[in-house]
């Protein structure tokens, strides 16, 4: 019945460990925490014994004694009761978690409904269970910036509340540049008419992606045609509808810039329905943040797996926050990460115009 021998002894606390060693708690604590005033031989002995007994300090007690919680809060907004959790969070948190573990921090997860979002934040600081928080899903001019500053709780935002303010910490993916680069790539491939299938541009990230697209297009003196830009929720159906309408245009696009994988699937449907071949008649570039959620994305064979930019953003945001906690009067830090782009079904220069259009 007991498959595992108790080679792992029952958990032990500092006092017991000190007793075993015949030392005081203080010395043991100092040895374990790398204080300089401990004799090296003592330290060795302490560390070895601690390992032997699998001693792990109780983080809560440590927190009580030091005034630090050694815990970071991630507060995820749930705007609609039945709304689904955005998979981006998982990815971001996986990255952040790595950083915390490496630094002895724990991760406290809280879901906040919008009716009582402010209260959630106030609670979390009143309870004193975290040293800082990561703010997810920023809105334009988000009230949480002022709230957190007032409460003097260190925080880092994943994203930005607008493009100009820099008086708080954030980590973001450079959506503008990503789409500027992607558009440029399509231009270099010889495309004249490039379509943009974007997410809702009320959201900061989508708006910035559009700016990048426009920048490259106007820089290369390409015609900017409203009929070739859509902004809507990123679903398969919306991708399909958008592409279908665009391909029916008198002067249809030869390339699509897409903000999500599912939308790209819809585009592909419209393309083949129009009798065109992806990779020959039409190019598609997909922003990778979403693509990486699909384990197996061989629907677009040219996909090359890279570490998700979102996960990286999580790591960087965590590092930034820990730095800020160590040194609260630091001036605001910001970081703009380059995104990974996926070239879906397009490897070389293409014919300028669709080959044919049957049915």
Partner DNA sequence: GTGAAAGCGCTAACAA
Partner DNA sequence: TTGTTAGCGCTTTCAC
Neighbour-count burial for 271-288, b at 16+ CB within 10 Å, e otherwise? beebebebbebbbbbbbb
- Asked whether position 230 contacts a second copy by CB under 8 A, the answer is no
Q: Which helix (H) or strand (E) holds 44?
A: helix 40-52
User: Concatenated DSSP letters for 132-169?
Assistant: EEEEPSPPTT-HHHHHHHHHT--EEEES-SSSS--SSE
> Considering CB distances under 5 to 8 angstroms, the limit depending on partner class, which of DNA, a second copy, none binds residue 24?
DNA
Site string for DNA, 20-39 (x = CB under 7 A): --xxxxxx-xx-xx--xxxx
**Residues within window 33-72 making contact with DNA, judged by CB under 7 A:** 33, 36-39, 42, 57-58, 61-62, 64-67
> Considering CB distances under 5 to 8 angstroms, the limit depending on partner class, which of DNA, a second copy, none binds residue 110?
a second copy
Cβ closer to a second copy: 56 or 353?
Answer: 56
Torsion over CA: 74, 78, 83, 88 (sign): negative
Cβ closer to DNA: 3 or 22?
Answer: 22
> Considering CB distances under 5 to 8 angstroms, the limit depending on partner class, which of DNA, a second copy, none binds residue 292?
a second copy
Question: Counting Cβ atoms within 10 Å, is residue 61 exposed (0-12), middle (13-18) or buried (19+)?
Answer: exposed
Cβ closer to a second copy: 185 or 270?
Answer: 270
**Alpha carbon distance 221, 180 (integer Å):** 14
Decide: 122 and 144 in contact? Cβ < 8 Å.
no
> Considering CB distances under 5 to 8 angstroms, the limit depending on partner class, which of a second copy, DNA, none binds residue 238?
a second copy
Q: How far, CA to CA in Å, does 58 sit from each of 7, 31, 62, 131, 321?
A: 21, 16, 6, 17, 23
Cβ closer to DNA: 62 or 245?
Answer: 62
Cβ closer to a second copy: 172 or 290?
Answer: 290
- Asked whether position 305 contacts DNA by CB under 7 A, the answer is no
User: Concatenated DSSP letters for 313-359?
Assistant: HHHHHHHHHHHHHH-TTSPP-EEEEPPPEEEES--S---SS-S----
Number of residues this chain uses to bind a second copy (CB under 8 A): 75
> Considering CB distances under 5 to 8 angstroms, the limit depending on partner class, which of a second copy, DNA, none binds residue 165?
none
- Asked whether position 52 contacts a second copy by CB under 8 A, the answer is no
> Considering CB distances under 5 to 8 angstroms, the limit depending on partner class, which of DNA, a second copy, none binds residue 37?
DNA
- Asked whether position 200 contacts a second copy by CB under 8 A, the answer is no
- C-alpha closest to that of 204 among 249, 236, 158, 239: 158
Cα angle 174, 177, 180 (rounded to 5 degrees) comes to 150
- Asked whether position 298 contacts a second copy by CB under 8 A, the answer is yes
- Asked whether position 64 contacts a second copy by CB under 8 A, the answer is yes
SS3 (DSSP) at 190: coil
- Shortest distance in whole angstroms from residue 60 CB to DNA: 8
- Asked whether position 273 contacts a second copy by CB under 8 A, the answer is yes
**Residues within window 130-189 making contact with a second copy, judged by CB under 8 A:** 143, 146-147, 150
- Greatest extent of the chain over all pairs of C-alpha atoms, in Å: 88
Binding site for DNA (CB under 7 A): 13-15, 22-27, 29-30, 32-33, 36-39, 42, 57-58, 61-62, 64-67, 128
């Amino acid at each position: 019945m007991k498959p595992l021998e108790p080679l792992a002894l029952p958990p032990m606390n500092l006092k017991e460990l000190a007793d075993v060693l015949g030392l005081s708690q203080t010395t043991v604590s100092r040895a374990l925490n790398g204080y300089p005033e401990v004799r090296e031989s003592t330290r060795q002995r302490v560390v070895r014994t601690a390992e032997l007994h699998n001693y792990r300090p109780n983080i809560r007690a440590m927190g009580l004694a030091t005034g630090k919680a050694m815990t970071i809060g991630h507060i995820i907004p749930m705007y609609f009761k039945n709304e689904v959790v955005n998979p981006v969070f998982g990815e971001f948190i996986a990255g952040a978690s790595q950083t915390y573990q490496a630094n002895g921090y724990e991760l406290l997860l809280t879901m906040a409904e919008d009716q009582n979002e402010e209260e959630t934040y106030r609670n979390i600081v009143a309870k004193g269970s975290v040293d800082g928080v990561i703010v997810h899903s920023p809105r334009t001019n988000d009230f949480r910036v002022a709230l957190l500053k007032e409460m003097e709780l260190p925080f880092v935002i994943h994203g930005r509340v607008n493009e100009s303010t820099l008086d708080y910490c954030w980590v973001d993916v450079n959506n503008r540049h990503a789409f500027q680069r992607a558009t440029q790539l399509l231009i270099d491939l010889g495309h004249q008419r490039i379509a943009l299938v974007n997410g809702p541009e009320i959201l900061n990230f989508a708006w910035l992606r559009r700016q990048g697209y426009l920048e490259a297009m106007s820089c290369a003196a390409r015609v900017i045609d409203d009929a070739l830009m859509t902004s809507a929720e990123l679903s398969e159906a919306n991708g399909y509808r958008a592409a279908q309408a665009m391909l029916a245009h008198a002067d249809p696009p030869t390339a699509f810039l897409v903000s999500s994988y599912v939308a790209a699937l819809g585009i592909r449907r419209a393309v083949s329905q129009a009798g065109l071949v992806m990779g020959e008649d039409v190019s598609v570039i997909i922003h990778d943040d979403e693509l990486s959620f699909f384990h197996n994305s061989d629907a677009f064979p040219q996909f090359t797996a890279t570490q998700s930019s979102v996960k990286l953003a999580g790591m960087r945001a965590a590092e930034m926050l820990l730095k800020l906690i160590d040194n609260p009067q630091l001036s605001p830090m910001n970081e703009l990460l380059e995104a990974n782009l996926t070239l879906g079904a397009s490897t070389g220069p293409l014919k300028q115009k669709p080959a044919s259009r049957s049915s």
